Amino acid sequence: MSSHALTSHDSAEWDTWLQYFKEELLKPQEKFNGKFFCNIVSSQGAGDSFIGALAFYMAHYPRMSLEEMARRANQVAGVSVQAVGTQTSYPFRKELPAELF
């Protein structure tokens, strides 16, 4: 796949997603008024954990809103920063709150 395919603004699907991102995800969110506190040990792998969790929710919960998927993926990443390492910090399902599933 060429890099042009990943960054092209010609696709209607890309434009729709980008518009949603600009309008909904970048504006202040009253829905995200809760705070998630954790003891950060290392941020290494947190982004990968977030993206992996987001992909999981997209695949297994396709009717869930993107906003809710991102909120839950953020919680998963919040658990991953509480341990050292990249893959070793990724939580197992049993280590996550049941309400994430």
Q: Which residue numbers are catalytic?
A: 48
Place of tokens 């970048």: 26
Query: Is residue 46 packed enough to be buried (19+ CB in 10 Å), middle (13-18) or exposed (0-12)?
Result: buried
What's the gap between Cα 54 and its chain centre? 4
* Among 33, 39, 50, residue whose Cα is nearest residue 91: 50
